[in-house]
Amino acid sequence: MAGTVNPDLRKERESSSFDPDKITNFLYGGPEIVKRKRELESLALNDPDYDHEDLNFMSNEQQYETQLKKGILMTKKVQKLNLTDAMDILFYRSAVSSDATAFGLHVSMFMPTLHGQATQEQKDKWLKLAENYVILGTYAQTEMGHGTFLRGLETTATYDPQTQEFVINTPTITAYKWWPGQLGKTTNYCVLMAQLYIHGKSHGPHPFMVQIRSLQDHKPLPGVTIGDIGPKFGYNSVDNGFLAFNNVRIPRENMLMKYSKVEPDGTYVKPPSTKLAYGTMVLIRANIVLNSGRALAKAVTIATRYSCVRRQSEMKPGQPEPQVLDYVTQQYKLFPYLAAAYAFWLTGQTMMSVYMTSSSQISKGDISVLPELHALSAGLKALSSWVANVGMEECRLACGGHGYSHASGLPRHYANMTPGATYEGENTVMMLQTARYLMKSYNQSLQGEKLAGSVAYLSGVQPVPAAGRTRNMLDLGALCDAFRHRAARLVHEAAMQLRNERQAGKDQPDAWNAASVDLVKAAMAHSQYFVVKNFAERLTDSRLDSSISAVLTRLCQLHALHGLVTNSGDFLEDGYLTGADIRQARRHINALMAKLRPDAVALVDAFDFPDGILNSILGRYDGNVYQHLLEWAKASPLNKTDVHQSYHKYLKPFLEANRAKL
Amino acid sequence: MAGTVNPDLRKERESSSFDPDKITNFLYGGPEIVKRKRELESLALNDPDYDHEDLNFMSNEQQYETQLKKGILMTKKVQKLNLTDAMDILFYRSAVSSDATAFGLHVSMFMPTLHGQATQEQKDKWLKLAENYVILGTYAQTEMGHGTFLRGLETTATYDPQTQEFVINTPTITAYKWWPGQLGKTTNYCVLMAQLYIHGKSHGPHPFMVQIRSLQDHKPLPGVTIGDIGPKFGYNSVDNGFLAFNNVRIPRENMLMKYSKVEPDGTYVKPPSTKLAYGTMVLIRANIVLNSGRALAKAVTIATRYSCVRRQSEMKPGQPEPQVLDYVTQQYKLFPYLAAAYAFWLTGQTMMSVYMTSSSQISKGDISVLPELHALSAGLKALSSWVANVGMEECRLACGGHGYSHASGLPRHYANMTPGATYEGENTVMMLQTARYLMKSYNQSLQGEKLAGSVAYLSGVQPVPAAGRTRNMLDLGALCDAFRHRAARLVHEAAMQLRNERQAGKDQPDAWNAASVDLVKAAMAHSQYFVVKNFAERLTDSRLDSSISAVLTRLCQLHALHGLVTNSGDFLEDGYLTGADIRQARRHINALMAKLRPDAVALVDAFDFPDGILNSILGRYDGNVYQHLLEWAKASPLNKTDVHQSYHKYLKPFLEANRAKL
C-alpha cells in the first residue's frame, strides 16, 4: 500500500479548481519562501539523527527527557547548519517537533529580554553566554497568585545600599513564581520580575538577572527553592516550574537597567516612557493571532482529509456510504473554520507588517501609533485564540470517535494551543483593554476629534437604511459595511450603557464593571470587523491569480456570512438587516459550501503542513488512515504482551477465587 | 491550616439567602436519599483499603493497573457490603473513583444485554457466571470504520447448518471491532454485534455471545486477535480494545435469541418488533443528559469556588484586589452554565421518570409512545452534551492558568465527559433523528391531525404579536412562549426549506441533506424549548420551600434569558421580539447575576460533590487552594530529586562542551 494515495483523496485533488501551490505561495509570501520552507522541513524530517518518537506513548517524565535530548540536538544542528535567519530557524524547528522542545523560553523570552532591557555592559556580560548555551534562562514573571495583573506581583527585590545588593524574597505562598517554561528542571538563570523596594519605598515591578542553579552541579543555589509544577492538560514535555527565594542577594548590576536605573546610593531613575514595552507585546500578540490561524488550519486539515476518506451511513437506499464531507452538516462544521483559519492567518500577517512599519517609527521615538496598535492587538489576540479553541474542538468532534484517539493528533494540538487564551494577557482582560481604547476614541469623536486608523469608522455614524431596499449579501463591500455598522452601533451602545450606569450613581470603576459584558461585546465586534475587512482587502492584491482569487473570495464571503448569521441578532436589533437578509445569507452559505466542497482538500493542502508536522493518522496526506491506525495501536505500550502483567497480579487470583466460590 | 475554611469562602456561605441542603434534597429526591448518598460516599472515601492515588501522576499503563486493582477491590466490597440497589451502587462507585474503574462495560452493557436479549436458557447458562465475575464481558459493536450507522457493520456471523455453528469473520481492516471498553486486556467474553448470514442471505446485525480469551491463561483464543487501541484524550485507565476474528466457530446457541432466532436448519425467525430496542436507548440517553448536567455542575463548582478565593487586578485604585467573581464578565461566564447545569439535571430526571412510566406501558406491548420518546431523547442527549462540552471548557478558561493544570481537575473531567457527544449516537445524527420526527409531526398537523406530547405545540401556529406591546421578559410564561414560538417557526422554516429543495428538483435524500443545517437548527430549538419549559414546570412543585424557589426561579430566568440573547436573531427575525425586548433581556440578565452573586457558592455547594469526587485543588470545599497547589506540585514525579537524572545524561555534557568552546 505504501506510496499509494487513497482513491477518494486522489479524486478530490484531481477535481479541484486550482493549483494549491499558488495559494501556498500566497500564504507564505512567495515561491522562494515556500521553497526554502520545504527544504528546511525535509532537512529536519529526514534527518536520521532525530528519533521522531510518538510522545503519546510516553509518561510525562519520558516526554521531558525526550524533548530535552531533542532540544540539545536541534540546538547543535542549528549551529552546524548555520541557520541564523529567524524565519529559517522557525521553519526548521517546527519540523523537528510540533511539540515544545527544551530552551523555548531561553530563545523566545530570556534572550529577547536581555536584548531589549539590558544595558550594553550587561549585554556584553550575559548575551554571549546565553547565545552559546553556557547559561540557560527563562522569564519568571507569573506568580501562583498573580497573572495578568503585573502590579500585583509579590516577589520583592529590596535594595541594600550598604552592600549595593538587591535582596530577593518570596514573602508568601502566592508569591511563588509559577508556570515559567523550563524553569522546573532545566534552566540555571532567569530574568525575574520583582517589586523594587528602595529605602522602604516601592517602585513597581522591575526585571532582574538571577542565577538559580549552580553551574557546577545544577543544584538550586542556597535560598532558592525550585520544582516542576506538575502535570497539565498539555505541554507535558515542558518543565513549567515554581521558584521561591529566601534572602537571596544579587549585585546591583543585576537589575536590567536600560530604562529604569538604581544608582549605587539607592537613587531611583525613572524610565523615559512606560509605553515602550508595548511594542514587544504587540509583536507577541500578532504571533498568537498567526499561530491561532495555523493551529486551526492544522485541525481543519486533519478533519477535512479524514472526512473525505471516512464513509458513513446511507444517504440513498442501496447506494454506497457517502464520504462524510458530502453531508452538508459536516461542511457546516468544517468550512467556516477553514475560512476562519485563512482569515486569522492573513490578520496575523497584516499585524506583523503593521508592527514592522511602526517599529521603525517607534525606534525613532514616535510612539503615537502605539496605543491603537496595542488596543487592536489585544482584541485580535483574544478573538483568534477563542475561535481557534472552539474550532479545534469542533474539528475533533467532527472526526467522530477517532478524533478522541491520540492517533488523530487533535487532542494534543488542542491541548497545546488552548493556553493561548490565557497567556500573554487573559482574553477577557484583553477585550476590555480594547474596549477602553474604543470608549476613549468614541468620546473623542463626540467632542469633534477626527479619528484615524482602525477606529476611524467611529467618527461617522451610519444611518440605518430605509426598509424595503434590497441588498446583495454576497457583496464583500456590503458585508464589510454591515460589520462596520454593527461594531459602531455596539460601541455606541456600550458607551450609553456606561453613561447610564454613571447617571444611576455608580462611580467609574463600578459603572465600567456593570457595563463590561457590553464592552466585551463591542470590542469583539470591532475585532471581527477588522478581520473581515482585512480579508477582503487582501483579495484586492492585483498579483492574485484569478483561479485562486475566485476560491479565496468564496472563503471570505463564507467567513463574513457565517459571522453574520451566528450573530444575526446584532444586525437585526436596530433593523440594519432584515429577516429576509438573514434568510438570504443562509441560502448563500449553503450555495458557497456547495461550491467550496470540491476545493476543500486543495484548500487544506495549500496550508502545506507535512505529515511530520500534522502528526495525525487521520490527516495523513496519502489518506491511508485505517491500516496505519491499526499499526499505531499495535505499537502502543499496553500491547507489548498479549497478556498484560496485571493479569497475573490482580485478575487471575480474582477470577480463580470467583470460580472456586461457585 | 487544616480544618480552617478560607475566610472568603466562609463569608460567601454565611451570606447566602438559603440553606443549600434544601436544594440538595430537591436535586436528589429527598432528605433520605441524600442521607444514604452521603453515608455511601463517606464509606468509600474513608475506607483505608482504597489508595486514593492521583492518576494524573501516572503513565497510562500505571493508570490501567491502578484502576484494575481498584475495580476488583470495589467489586468485592460491594458484595461484602451487600449493596444491591442500583442507586446505592452508583453512589458508592462514584466515590470510589471519579474515573472509570475496571468492569464498567461488564456491568453497564454486557450483563444488561444478556438480561434483555438472551433467552431464559441462555440466561441460566451465562448470567450467574457474569454476576459472579467468573466470566468478564464487554459489548463489541463499533468497528474501526463503522460507528453510529449500525447497518454498516462488516463483521460477519455465517451460519453453518452442517455443524450448527456460526463462523465469525473480520473481512477487512475497517471491520475490526474498535473502542469497546475493557476489551483490550481485561475481558474474556463479549457480546458481539455481527451481520448474520444464512444460506448466503444477510439478515442484518445480531448479537452473539463469544468467548475471546482462555479462562485458563487469559491468552486470546485461536483465530482471535485482541489489543488495546492506544492512548486517548481521556479515559486512559481504560483498555478500549480492538478485536478481529479469523474463522472462529461458536455454537448456534450462542446467538442471543430472545427476539430473532435461527433454527438448527437455518430457518430465520424475525423479531416481533424492531422498535423494542429503542427503550434501552432512551434510558441510556436520559442518563447522558443527567451526566452532562452533573459534569457541568462539577466544573461550575470548581470554577465558582475558586473565583471567590482568587483575587486579581485592581478595580478601584488603592483598594485590595477583588474576588474574581465580583467581575461581571466572570459572572457572565459562569452563571449561565450554573443555570444550565441545573436545567439539564432536572431534564435528565424528567426523562428518567417519563421512561419509567412508559416502560411499564411498553412491557405491556404498547409501544405507541416510543417514537416520540426516542426522538426527544436524541435531541436532548445532543443538546446537553454539546452545552456541557463548551461550558466545561469555559469554566476551565475562567480559572486562568491554573485551570490548565491537572491540579484543577478540569482537564480530566472534560476529557472524560467529551466523548458523550459521540458515543450512543453522534450528536448531529441525533439532532437529525429528532428533526425527522418533527417533520413527520409537522406534516401530520398540516393534514389536520392533532399532535400530542412534546410536539403538541406544532399544531397551533402562534401569530406574531402586534408591534407596540410591552412584554415582561422576566415572566417565565412569556419566556416559554418565546421559546415555543421560535421552535415552531424554525420547524416550519425547515419544512419550507425541505419543500423548496424538493420543488427545485432534488430527490428526498438530497433535499434532506440540503436542508439539514436548518433541520438541526429546528431540532435544537425544539430541545431547548423542552429544557426551558421543564425547568419552569419543576418550579411549580408546591413542596418547594419559598427560600429556594426564589433562587431557583432566578436560575430558570437566567437560563431562558441567556438562551434568548445568545440566539436573539431567531426571535427577532420574524419580529416576534423587538430590539427593545432584547435590550430589556440583557438588562435583566445583569440584574439577575447581581442577585445570584451572593448565592453562587451555596448554589454549587448544593450539588453536594465531596472533595473526593471533585478531585480538584481549585474547587476544594475549604478553599485552601494555594498551599495545596504547592504540596501537590511537590509530590509530582519530576520532583523526586532536585536534579533530574536527565541532567547527567544530556544537559551536563552539553553545558560543559559549550563552556569549553568559549
Chain A residues within 8 A of B179 when measuring between CB atoms: 401
Give Cβ neighbours of residue B416 (< 8 Å, ≥ 6 apart): B99, B100, B234, B235, B295
Q: Nearest Cβ partner of A646 from B65, B217, B507?
A: B65
Give the integer Cα–Cα distance in Å for B135 and B254. 15
Measure CA A109 to chain center: 16
The residues of B assigned a catalytic role are 424
Give Cβ neighbours of residue A188 (< 8 Å, ≥ 6 apart): A135, A136, A137, A211, A212, A213, A214, A215, A218
Nearest CA in chain A to B177: A630
Q: For B142-162, give the secondary structure using H, E and C.
A: CECCECCCHHHCCCEEEEECC
For B84-143, the pLDDT digits (tens) are: 999 999 999 999 998 988 999 999 999 999 998 999 999 999 999 999 999 999 999 999
Contact (CB<8Å) B520/A329 = yes
pLDDT at A468: 57
Residue A196 phi/psi, 5-degree rounding, is -85, 125
CA distance B361 to chain A (A): 32
Beta bridge partners of A201: A198
Beta bridge partners of B72: none
Nearest CA in chain B to A329: B517
What homologous superfamily does CATH list for A131-271? Butyryl-CoA Dehydrogenase, subunit A, domain 2 (2.40.110.10)
Contact (CB<8Å) A230/B56 = yes
Catalytic residue among A12, A154, A165, A424: A424
Measure CA A563 to chain center: 21
Nearest CA in chain A to B326: A513
Give Cβ neighbours of residue B257 (< 8 Å, ≥ 6 apart): B118, B119, B122
For B453-466, the pLDDT digits (tens) are: 899 999 876 666 66
Contact (CB<8Å) A242/B315 = no
Contact (CB<8Å) B231/A636 = yes
Cell reading at A571: 444586525
Chain A residues within 8 A of B423 when measuring between CB atoms: 401
- On whether the pTM is more than 0.95, the answer is yes
Give the integer Cα–Cα distance in Å for A483 and A473. 12
Chain B residues within 8 A of A316 when measuring between CB atoms: 507, 509
Nearest CA in chain A to B401: A422
Give Cβ neighbours of residue B499 (< 8 Å, ≥ 6 apart): none
Contact (CB<8Å) A218/B652 = yes
- Regions of chain B short of the pLDDT cut 70: 1-3, 274-278, 461-470
Contact (CB<8Å) A311/B65 = no
Chain B residues within 8 A of A72 when measuring between CB atoms: 650-651, 654
* Domain-wise residue ranges, chain B: 131-271, 280-452+462-603
Instruction: Say if CB A274 and CB A367 are below 8 A apart.
Output: no
Contact (CB<8Å) B516/A651 = no
Cell reading at B433: 433523528
Contact (CB<8Å) A637/B60 = yes
Read off the amino acid at residue A301: T
Cell reading at A248: 537571596
Chain B residues within 8 A of A56 when measuring between CB atoms: 230-231
Chain B residues within 8 A of A485 when measuring between CB atoms: none
Chain B residues within 8 A of A134 when measuring between CB atoms: 655, 658-659, 662
- How many other C-beta atoms are found inside a 10 Å radius of the C-beta of residue B97? 22
pLDDT at A1: 41
Give the integer Cα–Cα distance in Å for B522 and B494. 7
CA distance A655 to chain B (A): 6
Render the burial of B479-514: b for 16+ CB within 10 Å, e for the rest: bbbbbbbbbbbbbbbbbebbeebbeeebeeebbbbb
Q: Is B347 exposed, middle or buried, given 0-12, 13-18 or 19+ CB atoms closer than 10 A? A: buried
- How many other C-beta atoms are found inside a 10 Å radius of the C-beta of residue A341? 31
Nearest to A76 by CA among A101, A39, A108: A101
B280-452+462-603: CATH topology: Butyryl-CoA Dehydrogenase, subunit A; domain 3 (1.20.140)
What ranges make up the beta strands (E) of A199-304? 201-211, 224-228, 241-245, 248-251, 261-262, 268-269
CA distance B135 to chain A (A): 8
The two beta strands, A156-160 and A165-169, are antiparallel
- How many other C-beta atoms are found inside a 10 Å radius of the C-beta of residue A335? 26
Measuring CA to CA, how many Å separate A280 from each of A66, A143, A276, B391, B485? Answer: 31, 21, 8, 33, 52
Give the integer Cα–Cα distance in Å for A561 and A452. 27
Q: What is the mean pLDDT of each run of 10 residues along chain A (662 residues)?
A: 83 97 96 98 96 92 96 96 95 93 93 94 97 97 92 96 98 98 98 98 97 98 98 97 98 96 96 71 92 98 98 88 97 98 97 88 80 93 98 98 98 97 94 97 93 87 63 94 96 96 96 98 98 97 90 98 98 95 96 98 98 97 98 97 97 96 88
pLDDT at B1: 41
Nearest to B255 by CA among B172, B201, B197, B216: B197
Read off the amino acid at residue A92: Y
Render the burial of A320-333: b for 16+ CB within 10 Å, e for the rest: ebbbbbbbbbbbbb
The two beta strands, B177-178 and B241-245, are antiparallel
pLDDT at B277: 66
Contact (CB<8Å) A575/B574 = no
Nearest CA in chain B to A508: B316
Q: Specify whether A424 is catalytic.
A: yes
